[in-house]
């Protein structure tokens, strides 16, 4: 598809950066991007569209420090060992200036550890485990999306208002799922000491036995449910839960379920009234969202997904970090990205100096069924900076 100048400029405010300065070298700045394209296409294909659009916009505006951006992308198939091998090839053979991307938390942690050992900058886009910037954080690692801690804190704000005392949880049995459950329990019980968690289900990612999982949760006779499943596991869980009446008369708090890629898949099976994090793409009207949606639709002839936002913001954040640093030396970027600010469809954010987490937030609302399709309603945007612990607490969780 031919990209028009009008399309490139439609979202130009999202890519605002300091004045161009000529960096050392005249060739393109090479970003080695790794993601689970075959393992999680619903999220990662729109994500790839998002970073493609951002790269084209940056380059049409003159590049970064007078140099074009070039993304060399590879598929890790959702396997940490493949991701580490690919990272080595990108650094040693393709001579990339930095690494970026990844989807699953265990894959992100593996690539981040590779970056730490090789002293190569890694900017994680999607992995949500808080360990990426806290317990296993390091000066060469940054992360874009709100973490499990941050999203749990967002959900707890509304979940604590439910009359429910007996909670159960269901989450995929790997780092993202267990981390999300840990923080939701801790934060909810801090707000509501009367709450107890009476059952927990941890199905293998992509292999949920939804009928058995729903039956086990129902047997615990909960008042409310915390759900962390996503993708095909979420669809299977919701279908069995609807069929067996698991959600009737019970509150549900659910991480990520309000994202378009998951609501679109649920369709007319979308349960109503769940407290969710996500993106109400059909109803946001502010300038940042509106301009991004228009540019994305003009480029790809479809509505963007949450993955699209993540991909676009990832390139914007990398561009801003390089511009602030003044070059692509790994040692300089490791410290130079800290404090850099950049525009995203959701507003302006920064790379936090204290833990290299971005302040990108997300939306919290309720699920509803409208015209046979799932939607987010009664939503609000929550700034990522507002749900982070204080600096002293962060310091205790992050290696010196």
Q: What is the pLDDT of residues 276-320, one digit of tens each?
A: 999 999 999 999 999 999 999 999 999 999 999 999 999 999 999
Do 258 and 199 fall into the same domain? Answer: yes
Residue 16's pLDDT is what? 47
11 pLDDT exceeds 60? Answer: no
Do 171 and 216 fall into the same domain? Answer: yes
**In the chain, % of residues over pLDDT 70:** 94
Do 234 and 161 fall into the same domain? Answer: yes
Residue labelled with tokens 């109503």:
272
Q: 381: domain range? A: 149-283+363-397
Do 159 and 237 fall into the same domain? Answer: yes
Q: Sign of dihedral through CA atoms 103, 200, 218, 279?
A: negative
Task: Dig out the tokens for 313 from the structure.
Answer: 């913001």
Q: Cα separations (Å) of 80 from 7, 20, 102, 164, 171?
A: 36, 37, 10, 38, 20
Global pTM?
Answer: 0.92
- What's the chain's average pLDDT? 94
Do 277 and 296 fall into the same domain? Answer: no
- Cα(173)–Cα(170) distance, rounded to whole angstroms? 9
Do 90 and 161 fall into the same domain? Answer: no
Task: Dig out the tokens for 328 from the structure.
Answer: 């692509």
- Rounded mean pLDDT, 312-333: 98
User: Model confidence at 9, in pLDDT bands (50, 70, 90)?
Assistant: very low
The answer to whether the beta carbons of residues 87 and 32 sit under 8 Å apart is yes
Do 224 and 296 fall into the same domain? Answer: no
- Cα(73)–Cα(318) distance, rounded to whole angstroms? 15
The answer to whether the beta carbons of residues 174 and 230 sit under 8 Å apart is no
CA angle 66, 67, 72 (to 5 degrees): 160
24 pLDDT exceeds 70? Answer: no
Cα–Cα nearest to 130, from 357, 289, 310: 357
Do 52 and 132 fall into the same domain? Answer: yes
7 pLDDT exceeds 50? Answer: no
Q: What is the pLDDT of residues 182-234, one digit of tens each?
A: 999 999 999 999 999 999 999 999 999 999 999 999 999 999 999 999 999 99
Task: Dig out the tokens for 254 from the structure.
Answer: 């659910």
Backbone φ, ψ for residue 158 (5° rounding):
-90, -35
Residue 153 maps to which CATH number? 3.40.50.2300
Q: What is the pLDDT of residues 65-107, one digit of tens each?
A: 999 999 999 999 999 999 999 999 999 999 999 999 999 999 9
- Cα(196)–Cα(164) distance, rounded to whole angstroms? 9
Number of compact structural domains in the chain: 2
C-alpha dihedral (144, 150, 151, 153), degrees to nearest 10: -170
Displacement of CA 86 from its chain's centroid (Å): 22
21 pLDDT exceeds 50? Answer: no
Q: In sequence order, what DSSP letters do the residues of 195-227 get, joined into one string? A: -EEEEEE-PPTT---HHHHHHHHHHT--SEEEE
Do 60 and 95 fall into the same domain? Answer: yes
């Amino acid at each position: 598809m031919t990209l028009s100048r009008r399309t490139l400029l439609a979202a130009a405010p999202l890519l605002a950066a300091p004045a161009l300065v000529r960096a050392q070298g005249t060739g393109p700045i090479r970003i080695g991007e790794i993601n689970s394209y075959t393992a999680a296409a619903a999220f990662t294909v729109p994500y790839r569209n998002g970073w493609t659009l951002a790269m084209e916009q940056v380059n049409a505006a003159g590049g970064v420090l007078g140099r074009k951006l070039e993304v060399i992308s590879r598929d890790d198939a959702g396997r940490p060992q493949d991701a580490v091998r690919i990272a080595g090839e990108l650094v040693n053979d393709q001579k990339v200036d930095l690494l970026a991307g990844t989807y699953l938390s265990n894959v992100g942690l593996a690539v981040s550890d590779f970056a730490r050992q090789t002293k190569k900058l890694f900017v994680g886009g999607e992995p949500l485990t808080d360990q990426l910037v806290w317990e296993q954080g390091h000066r060469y690692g940054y992360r874009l999306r709100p973490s499990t801690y941050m999203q749990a804190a967002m959900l707890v704000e509304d979940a604590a208002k439910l009359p429910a005392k007996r909670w159960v949880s269901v989450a995929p049995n790997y780092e993202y799922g267990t981390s999300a459950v840990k923080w939701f329990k801790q934060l909810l019980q801090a707000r509501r000491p009367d709450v107890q968690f009476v059952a927990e289900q941890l199905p293998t990612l992509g292999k949920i036995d939804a009928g058995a999982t729903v039956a086990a949760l129902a047997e615990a006779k909960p008042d409310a449910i915390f759900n962390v499943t996503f993708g095909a596991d979420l669809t299977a869980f919701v279908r069995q839960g609807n069929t067996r009446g698991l959600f009737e008369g019970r509150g549900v708090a659910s991480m990520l379920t309000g994202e378009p890629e998951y609501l679109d898949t649920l369709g007319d099976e979308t349960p109503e009234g769940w407290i969710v994090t996500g993106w109400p793409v059909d109803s946001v009207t502010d300038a940042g969202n509106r301009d991004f949606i228009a540019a994305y639709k003009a480029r790809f002839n479809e509505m963007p997904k949450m993955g699209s936002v993540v991909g676009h913001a990832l390139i914007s954040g990398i561009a801003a970090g390089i511009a602030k640093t003044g070059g692509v030396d790994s040692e300089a970027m490791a410290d130079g990205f800290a404090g850099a600010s950049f525009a995203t469809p959701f507003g302006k954010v920064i790379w936090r100096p204290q833990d290299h987490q971005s302040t990108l937030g997300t939306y919290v609302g309720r699920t509803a069924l409208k015209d046979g399709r799932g939607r987010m309603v009664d939503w609000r945007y929550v700034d990522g900076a507002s749900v982070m612990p204080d600096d002293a607490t962060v310091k205790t969780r992050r290696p010196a």
